[in-house]
Each structure stands twice: as C-alpha cells, then as structure tokens.
Amino acid sequence: MAVPTRKTSHARKSSRRSTVRKLEAPTLVTCPNCGELTAAHKACTNCGMYNGRQVVVKKDA
C-alpha cells in the first residue's frame, strides 16, 4: 500500500477542503398569493400555491 512521503500541511489540507464548508443562504421570495417569504422554486408553505396553481391542499386538523 502506498504511503505519503511527507505530511500534508494544515494550509494545503485546508485549502483543498475550503469549498466543503462554504454554505449559502437559500434565496427567499415573496409569495404572490399570500405575501409570505418562501424558498424559490418551491410551493408556498403557507397557502400551497406554486406558479399560479394550487399544488398542496392543507388539511384542517
């Protein structure tokens, strides 16, 4: 089995892993039906509308 000749430095290891920890906040848009903030390209969690259509029907508990 191959073994590395030299130890990988902290800087080299960190620069290679720098893109792993990069997180971005999801893009929020306002729902045109109810005005609540929702994630882009997802059905509204409040009213269930997406692209001008009712796609999620909420049950009354």
- The per-residue pLDDT for range 9-48, each reduced to its tens digit, is 999 988 888 877 777 888 899 999 999 999 999 999 899 9
Cα 18 to its chain centre, rounded Å, is 18
Using the CB atoms, write b or e for 20-54: b if 16+ within 10 Å: eeeeeeeeeeebeeeeeebeeeebbeebbbbeeee
What are the boundaries of each domain within the chain? 26-61
Contact predicate 8/17, CB 8 Å:
no
Give the per-residue pLDDT at 60.
Answer: 66
Give the per-residue pLDDT at 61.
Answer: 58
- Please tell me the pTM assigned to this model: 0.53
Contact predicate 43/53, CB 8 Å:
no
